[in-house]
Structure 1
Amino acid sequence: MTTLSSSGVAPEIKTMRMCFYGAGSMAEAIVRGLLDRGLTEPGQIGMMNRQNAERMNELSTRYGIVGALTDADKVSMLREADIVFLAMKPKDAAEAIRGVRELLHPGQLIVSLIAGMTITTLETLLGKPMPIARTMPNTSSTIGLGATGISFSASVSDGQRQLADTLFQAVGLTAIVEEPMLEVVTGISGSGPAYFYYMMEAMIAAGTKLGLSTDAARELTLQTVLGAAHMVKATGEDPAELRRKVTSPNGATQAAIEKFDEYKFTEAVLSAVTRCAERAMEMGAEIERNAKS
């Protein structure tokens, strides 16, 4: 069962120390969202990565957060954090987690941004039971319009659930799902932005091929996609109903839809989402094998 959330603030967030292990674009998006919404102060956020001091200095200057540059700083940051975000690349995750697991303790909430890594695998790597929120955000989080799926380990309390939900509402919408459904979330929203970019690429190319300037084709495509999304959200109507309203019998739109049907558009989308979910599971299995080796 999926529960969508769009409100609710855990008031204790301001008192909590957060540590981001990994300083990529998704970690930065969450930091920016938390600060923009006033959920915490820059001094409560620490960030660290393996060895990129330039990136740490960049983020410290941009947001005022605390960047850990020395091993001693990293150790104290991890030990003292109330919330630890694991935001390293999947290929580096197993080794990195093994390297710091002795610094972590069950009083912390672990928030995983690692694509494909299951809660069971993370528990194995941590070597002890800890409350874990496994998340699947998407790249639209960088502009505050993300969609994040969240699953929890058995030891996560109700308060920690609300806390994790609130953290990710700072960068968009959240969906609380059972863990097996996170792979479906990956297929729909995790990778979903790329599907629409691909569609936009094709529409721009079609407009250009048929005589529009590239700029005109791009702007018309962009506004059309933006307007369609806003129409669904503003009206609350089902997309199928909105499609029917603009598809006159035997009209130009109907002719276009028939071409989509001829090329099995709906079946192609189902196949793509299914394959994406399958690949996410395959990646998770690879991570699990690495964790056990």
Structure 2
Amino acid sequence: MVQQKKIGMIGAGSMAEALIQGLVKEGKVSPRQIHVTNRSRKERLKELSDRYGIEPVTDKSVFKNMDILILAMKPKDAAEALFPIKAYLHREQLVISMMAGISMDYILQLIGSPLPIIRTMPNTSSAIGLSVTAIAVGPHCNQESVEDAEEIFKAIGSVTWVKEDELDAVTALSGSGPAYIYYLVEAMEQAGIEIGLSPQISRDLTLKTLLGAAHMLIETGEEPSILRTKIMSPGGTTVAGIQFLNQSKFQEAVKGAVHSAWKRSLEIRNSFEKKKEEFLPPLQTQSK
């Protein structure tokens, strides 16, 4: 159980804050068990301390006392953030990465020691406790590591278990997914306004329609194509709308967006893998 453990967090952005908020709100840990550092903005650490009661970290040596280390910085900052603290890390600690595009192998190369490691991909709905977080278990993990990761990320929503090589697809589908939905909402809202509705009514109808449709899918368990055809009366309004979407290659566009995001995630991962091969020594697996 994480209730008895100290959590160190590197990074203090919106995703880190959502996780802090969830852990504190759900009573998973005391705020004083969470120790946070970032690259430069000390005022941000004070803000999080004032808001949630967490411990800001100024002396990196405190990381040697952490049970769990959560990597919540931007991927490009990984090396800069990990090199100064690697001397304080040890094999009894669990490392959990929230960084997109950086493999567990690359992170362990940066650390220079074979620690238990887990990779995750939450999404921005974590801010309201409705993230779906994909979790991939890495080497050196035991059952306690798995249970700790699950408990932490259930504080911000639901979790699903995947293989590490599936995380690029997860990033494209659910990591970027909220943005696709927001883009759809923009279009539906604007269309409602163009045909005579007020902005407020158009937004309200759009959001509640999306919410209702999502609940129908979840609660009935039916395929979306079945639910769609049930409301497509021959010669009716829904048929006219769907026909236009088909003519506009709507499904192809949505699938193309996911594929493009997936390819970009692969490119990012490959760029870090090249850096690993060029600059990093082989991982030391022998006992120290």
TM range (shorter): over 0.9
- The aligned counterpart of 1:6 is none
- Unpaired runs of 5+ residues, structure 2, are 280-288
Secondary structure of 2:140's partner? coil
Q: TM-score normalised to the size of structure 1?
A: 0.91
Q: How does 1:139-288 map to 2 (within 5 A)?
A: 139-288=124-273
Secondary structure of 1:170's partner? helix
The CA distance in 1 between the partners of 2:209 and 2:139, in whole Å, is 44
Q: 1:126 aligns with which of 92, 98, 111?
A: 111
The reply to whether residue 21 of structure 1 matches residue 10 of structure 2 is yes
| 1:112 Cα deviation from its structure 2 partner | 0.4
**Letter of the 2:28 counterpart:** L
| 1:248 Cα deviation from its structure 2 partner | 1.4
| 1:99 Cα deviation from its structure 2 partner | 2.2
| 1:264 Cα deviation from its structure 2 partner | 1.6
- The aligned counterpart of 2:61 is 75
Could you give the per-residue CA deviations for residues 230-270 of structure 1, whole angstroms, max 9, x where no partner exists? 22223333222221222212211111111111122222222
| 1:204 Cα deviation from its structure 2 partner | 1.2
Secondary structure of 1:135's partner? strand
| 1:211 Cα deviation from its structure 2 partner | 2.1
The CA distance in 1 between the partners of 2:206 and 2:44, in whole Å, is 35
Q: How does 1:57-136 map to 2 (within 5 A)?
A: 57-68=46-57, 70=58, 72=59, 74-76=60-62, 78-136=63-121
The CA distance in 2 between the partners of 1:52 and 1:15, in whole Å, is 29
The CA distance in 2 between the partners of 1:93 and 1:34, in whole Å, is 24
Q: Do 1:42 and 1:63's aligned partners in 2 also have CA atoms closer than 8 Å? A: yes
Could you give the per-residue CA deviations for residues 202-235 of structure 1, whole angstroms, max 9, x where no partner exists? 1111112222222222221111112211222233
**Letter of the 1:39 counterpart:** K
- The aligned counterpart of 1:51 is 40
Identical-residue share of aligned pairs (%): 45
The CA distance in 1 between the partners of 2:13 and 2:274, in whole Å, is 25
Q: Give the superposed CA RMSD.
A: 1.4
Q: 2:24 aligns with which of 35, 39, 44?
A: 35
Q: Do 2:2 and 2:28's aligned partners in 1 also have CA atoms closer than 8 Å? A: yes
The CA distance in 1 between the partners of 2:48 and 2:80, in whole Å, is 24
The CA distance in 1 between the partners of 2:91 and 2:118, in whole Å, is 13
Q: TM-score normalised to the size of structure 2?
A: 0.92
The CA distance in 2 between the partners of 1:40 and 1:246, in whole Å, is 47
The CA distance in 1 between the partners of 2:235 and 2:167, in whole Å, is 41
- Unpaired runs of 5+ residues, structure 1, are 1-11
Q: Do 1:94 and 1:290's aligned partners in 2 also have CA atoms closer than 8 Å? A: no
| 1:150 Cα deviation from its structure 2 partner | 0.9
| 1:190 Cα deviation from its structure 2 partner | 0.4
Aligned residues: 278
**Letter of the 1:100 counterpart:** I
Q: Do 1:136 and 1:149's aligned partners in 2 also have CA atoms closer than 8 Å? A: yes
